[in-house]
A and B are shown apart, each in its own frame.
Chain A
Amino acid sequence: MMASSYNAKEEDGNPSSATVHGGAGTVKNKKPDNTAFKQQRLPAWQPILTAGTVLPAFFVIGLIFIPIGIGLFVTSNNIKEFEIDYTGVDLSSPCFNCSQNYIWNSTTPCTCSVPFSLDQPFESNVFMYYGLSNFYQNHRRYVKSRDDSQLNGDLSSLKNPSKECEPYRTSENKPIAPCGAIANSLFNDTLDLYYIDPNGSRTAIPLVKKGIAWWTDKHVKFRNPAGNNLTVVFQGTSKPVNWRKPVYELDPSDSDNNGFINEDFIVWMRTAALPTFRKLYRIIQKKPNNMSPTLPRGQYILDVTYNYPVRSFEGRKRMILSTISWMGGKNPFLGIAYITVGSVCFFLGIVLLIIHHKYGNRNNNADIPN
């Protein structure tokens, strides 16, 4: 009927008119269904957060968290970590010269040796990290300056990298492979570790350079462009401006670690979350049949091929040696936090218990005369 046709309200972009067309035209003679849903009578569990119900939960949380926290804290304390800054800011620092006379693309690399001593022996596998400070790997312009399809071995992207790589997209009219700011700024210091025997002779410590990147990154996300010979495949592309050698010469000795699937490269390409970060550099595996520690106490020398300039942005470079437990590296935070939260819960439980006793009784008393 006319009336009901007009009943469709003007809605003004307002999807809200629940017009139960109640115009005189439509006489609804229907009784609403008596279902639990429509009558809002669905069976339900009705928990209420009262002091009584929350109390046990607090105690339980406290009782669970505190042991976990202690466990974490002890584990973290058992982890041995050694950190040394080799930036060469101070005059006394062995790398001072290298950091001062830094020349891009110098043919003769500057090297320096940093002596240090370990007070405690490092058992089991030891992980060697390099650390950078004040380096904004999480800067937006930096993070997006990469081409994942190029890194995945896509041939068209190899020749025509993504726009995001600007201004590290082309050089000398040739596409850069790998393009982008992240690749361009690949960390290229070489770190070598020597153990100084008590008799004074230097023993090179074997550093394993594989297994430092995520397995999925190395095997799925990063792939070299198809082709048997990497040199041929990368023909027509240019090396990143700051690199000394092209990507296919990153590790000429091992074809499984060369090109885009070079693990040092992959590790670098995973941009860090914070401006002070560390990245896994090498793994020092425990000696297989020897009961002696991986890194015994004593004197060591860190040989640095100093290629990476950080002074310009007041950065720092560090080398870190760390053992690893099931919970990772040394980080007392988690343990302390667990202990704190657990204790707070326990404490709150006690407070609530008192309050519950005081007020709960009073409330009950107040209710009864009602």
Chain B
Amino acid sequence: MFCFSERSRARPAQGLPSVLCESDRFLHGLLHSWRRAKTQSGLCSASLLFEAASTSVFQRTLRTVYIGHKEPPPGAEAYILQRYPDNRIVSSKYTLWNFIPKNLFEQFRRIANFYFLLIFLVQLIIDTPTSPVTSGLPLFFVITVTAIKQGYEDWLRHKADCSINECPVDVIQQGAVVRTESHKLRVGDIVMVREDDTFPCDLILLSSSRDDGTCYVTTASLDGESSHKTYYAVPDTMAFVTEQEVDSLHATIECEQPQPDLYKFVGRINIYKEQEEPIARPLGAENLLLRGATLKNTEHIYGVAIYTGMDTKMALNYQSKSQKRSAVEKSMNAFLIVYLCMLIGKALINTVLKYSWQWSSDHDEPWYNQRTEIDRERHVVIRAFTDFLAFMVLFNYIIPVSMYVTVEMQKFLGSYFIAWDTDMYDEDLGQGAQVNTSDLNEELGQVEYVFTDKTGTLTENCMEFIECCVDGHIYIPHAICNGQILSADHEDLFFRALCLCHTVQVKEEETVDGIKMGLHQGKPTSFYISSSPDEVALVEGMKRYLLWLNFLCVSFRFELLHVLNFDSVRRRMSVIVRSSAGENLLFCKGADSSILPRVVSGKVEQVRARVEQNAVEGLRTLCVAYRSLSPADYEEACHRLSAAKLALQDRDQRLMQAYDFIERDFTLLGATAVEDRLQEKAADTIESLHKAGMKVWVLTGDKMETAVATCYASKLFRRSTQILELTKKRTEEQSLHEVLFDLSRTVLRERSVLGLSVDCQDYGLIIDGATLSAVLKPGPESSGSGNYREIFLEICRNCSAVLCCRMAPLQKAQIVKLIKASKEHPITLAIGDGANDVSMILEAHVGIGIMGKEGRQAARNSDYAIPKFKHLKKMLLVHGHFYYIRIAELVQYFFYKNVCFIFPQFLYQFYCGFSQQPLYDTAYLTLYNISFTSLPILIYSLIEKHVSVETLKRDPSLYRDVAKNSLLCWPVFLYWTCLGLFDACIFFFGAYFLFDNTTFTSNGQMFGNWTFGTLIFTVLVFTVTLKLALDTHLWTWINHFVIWGSLLFYVIFSLLWGGIIWPFLNYQRMYYVFMQMLSSGPAWLGIILLITLSLLPDVVKKVLCRTMCPTATERAQVGPLPDRI
């Protein structure tokens, strides 16, 4: 129920979907500016609105729909006909014709692909040391695989589009039902929809088969709420119940241009009757049936299509979420830039050296090695530039295509382990964890701040009515209250209020699809369905309670006049009813903070005391109040409500004002208390997160007392925690300024006294929404208020737990944003279950949705969805930790192995006259990253576990070892790079001294440069593979298979590659090189020596680090820590 307004906040206006074309964007802009102009000048009256309608600007901001394509009678306003798209849904990106160019364009827009394309083109154009095949083949492979995958996905989308676009739809034409295909629907068509059918486009409900002109709809596929919602037809069109009648309807609809907010719609229907003034009726979201929703419990309805195809709210809503990038990706890009600089630096150095070396023509062109005529005539600058490019090409493998492919594959495949995890499977829901994006796997291991919702996340959101309190008397449903029925007037009213003031629907068993709900003991029962579990709990509690008190015998009839819906800003809802006695009553229930200030009479003190006591116990409380409306009051209220509802613009605001006016002067009746139990293991999870060094913030809309109680129960606050309050109550006494400085002084003094030696005093901060907005509000002058933000952050940083209560959804996102933007740029995680958490889930680095009771919106908008809060522990501490160490090793290792690969080539340039002579054969250059060294690291990055799952779970503090991107920080990166450089030097100079002016065959024959390269390459492949083997802590058969398999593959390939005169090659330089090398004993000895030598420093470093200053993880590896229990 309170999803409504929150949803609208969750989708900020700037989030216009990409499918909107430019002109629409323009229109929206106009609409916006026009609205602003209206509000400023206060021109809101209906007559002026019509005047404005005639201006062309306004014309374009509204759309006018002729129902049944019937022109309005002459004399009505002259409308300019607009063109609307047809009802075709296009979710596919490509057509058969544009697939290749468009897909290629898309792919080469990625900077990495573009880089490789550039290298490939350079290889094609200039005379380069390596053939274009070496970079062309991998690039071609990557591009093709991606294109096939995207093509397949697009084909699936085409198929889905097709089946949707061609599904049959009933349209009323000339008074008869005509069956047509969905994509032929036009704006203005009258459509008939039968029960259980999905609406083919956005429709305005004209009439339904039910007498009251209502219909029931479930929007499960739109926002996940499975409850039935009621939609209404305009009373004036309600009567058109047959095809002929509907077809005779003569009306136009004015409404706003399509916008993505599912719960907002503003429009007006003008009904023309002969010889009568046209009737104008307001249209709101309750009249609009959305595409994608399903008709329920209603035989059929008639509606007029107003938004079709890509204009429908559903289509506008399925925009792609903004891509989140993980911290690892960012550091990877930083490393890439370093390597790019290194690459350019190397090429530059070599070019400069080459030309200084070539200064004497003997070096440049000795008699045995002349240039061609064409080459000689080239200008020296061009030659130098070509040489530079050639060096770039020679060294370009330092940034390998395969790294991107491997990282993508690792993320994609690795994410399956989350979905496969049976520990995160919930039997009740029948669902395990869901991965909506695999880009953020490793970010799960980097979380520093956890923002969690309370209701439904920490707690079960399974409400149970505990007690109620009427005028200070307490009633508990299960305990017989000694018949202490005070037949006070208020009590009667109180129960009536609870029975009346809700939006709960009764659902009969028979109408529900049989099996799923289950027939209870064979007899049909009725269900209460509401979007708010509190209400269900209350109504069910009432039912039980009233049965106890035998109230059932008396029945009253009330006429429901108005429902003043709940929203999270007002935090209350009201109904206006007329009793059988003709008395008008307004019942209101809501949060105590929103009711009590409006109460004028009643036993406020007793109730307040009870409410506070309940809240401390962690119960959710609601206050109930009523107001008797005199006829005059009622008239006034009706007038205000209908005026507000009729307004085309600013309807929400005006409704607010009307509600505000009506809901006042209450008489307090009592309060209810509903228990929301803590989720299983919630406290344990929070405790683990704390131990893992994460700061847990609870952001809730609930009131402070309840929230604090939950926090204590869930061990967010401990007994020892010193609570700092930053609440409205306090800021009322002191100025915000003083409070803030007070708190920061408390926190900072403590720290300066204790220093870093002892564990600081645990601080917990409580802040409420009002104070938060005051803190965050940009003041008139930046001098003072700009600091508040900083001071606030400073306080927060020193608190282990923070509770933010009374939060509006947008404020939740604000908090997340605030922390995200603070100077350490911590990684944030938001977890929630309801629509009110969507904004913070989208805002945080990692958004986790709980598949809760309040619909699936949070789960759908999240990056990962889990069934229960307790699963967060395994998600972060185990999966996150694993993914992080895996990808960190993957990234570092990739850079390392390519330094090892390329740096010998660089060194070789000094010994070959800077001529860009490659050290390795083309096949080795091409296959090094693709096949010789690719699989072991991929498998490692998929299944490595350096510590057992149980250890990680038992000792959450191990999470601190990987915090702050510690495995990808610059010192570690430097270590890997230096290791790579060291190994490269060992390879090169080892081979150099082995080859230096001597022979190492027993028959005196000599080896050439290709044997030199092959020797280095062999040492290289073995070293980097064994280096990975040293890093592997988990040797499953797969690891054995790929590591030894890769080495074996290298040997077999080399034997084969050198064993045959390959007819398609124009050179045979590798012929028998590998075998000749292996036939020489010293080559074997040399290879073994060099491998040992290059692995030695890493082993020594590892052993020393482990022995001298072991990390917690390393201690945990050696032996399980003694149990602490």
Contact = CB atoms under 8 A, between A and B. Distances in A.
Interface of A: 1-20, 22-25, 27-29, 31-34, 38-40, 42-51, 54, 61, 65, 68, 72, 125, 127, 129, 131, 135-149, 152, 162, 164, 166-168, 181, 184-185, 211-214, 216-217, 220-221, 242, 267, 270-280, 283, 309, 312-314, 322, 324-331, 333-334, 337-338, 341, 344-345, 348, 352, 355-356, 359-360, 363, 367, 370
A148 B1067 CA distance: 5
B134 interface: no
Contact of A39 (B411, B421, B1096): B421
A253 B470 CA distance: 126
Nearest to A147: B1066
B1036 A18 contact: no
Interface stretch (B2-10, B51-59, B107-115, B206-214): B107-115
Contacts of A214: 1005, 1072, 1076
Contacts of A324: 999, 1001-1004
Contacts of A68: 1085
Contacts of B551: none
B366 A312 contact: yes
Contacts of A143: 917, 1009
B1080 interface: yes
10 contacts: A8-B157, A13-B150, A29-B430, A38-B416, A139-B915, A278-B1006, A324-B1004, A326-B1081, A328-B998, A331-B993
Nearest to B1085: A334
Contacts of B917: 138-140, 143
Contacts of B1003: 211, 324
B1102 interface: yes
Nearest to B1102: A49
Interface of B: 89, 91, 93, 106-107, 109-110, 113, 129, 145-146, 149-150, 153, 156-157, 160-161, 164, 198, 220-222, 224, 291-292, 314-315, 318, 320-321, 323, 362-363, 366-373, 408, 411-412, 415-417, 419-422, 425, 430-432, 434-439, 856, 859-860, 865, 911-913, 915-918, 943, 945, 949, 990, 992-1009, 1011-1013, 1030, 1033-1039, 1061, 1066-1069, 1071-1072, 1076, 1080-1082, 1085-1086, 1089, 1092-1093, 1096, 1099-1100, 1102-1104, 1106-1108, 1110, 1115, 1117-1119, 1121-1122, 1124
B1002 A48 contact: no
Given A13-B113, A31-B422, A275-B913, A142 B368 contact: yes
A346 to B, nearest CB: 12
Contacts of B432: 31-32
B1033 A283 contact: no
Given A40-B417, A277-B1006, A334 B1086 contact: yes
A363 B1110 contact: yes
In the A-B complex, the 10 residue pairs with the closest CB atoms: A185-B368, A5-B160, A273-B1012, A328-B1000, A10-B320, A6-B318, A127-B1004, A140-B915, A18-B438, A38-B420
B652 to A, nearest CB: 27
Interface of A is mostly: loop
Given A149-B1066, A220-B1072, A328-B1001, 18 more contacts: A14-B110, A25-B221, A40-B417, A135-B366, A137-B1009, A138-B917, A152-B1068, A162-B1066, A167-B370, A221-B1068, A273-B995, A278-B1006, A331-B994, A334-B994, A337-B990, A341-B1092, A352-B1104, A370-B1121
Contacts of A271: 1008-1009
A146 B153 CA distance: 49
Contact of B1122 (A39, A48, A370): A370
A43 B1081 CA distance: 39
A31 B320 CA distance: 29
Contacts of B1096: 341, 344-345, 348
B1000 A329 contact: yes
B979 to A, nearest CB: 15
Contacts of B918: 140
Nearest to A311: B362
A272 B996 contact: no
B437 A17 contact: yes
Nearest to B1100: A348
B997 A131 contact: yes
B320 to A, nearest CB: 4
B435 A329 contact: no
A39 B420 contact: yes
A152 B107 contact: no
Nearest to A275: B911
B90 to A, nearest CB: 11
A333 B994 contact: yes
A367 B1123 CA distance: 11
Given A24-B221, A312-B366, A359-B1107, A44 B1082 contact: no
Contacts of B1080: 328
A43 B1068 contact: no
Contacts of A9: 320-321, 437
Nearest to B161: A5
A16 B437 contact: yes
Contacts of B994: 331, 333-334
Contacts of A48: 1033, 1117-1118
A29 B368 CA distance: 76
A167 B373 contact: yes
Contact of B1030 (A49, A185, A211, A309): A49
Contacts of A32: 419-422, 425, 432
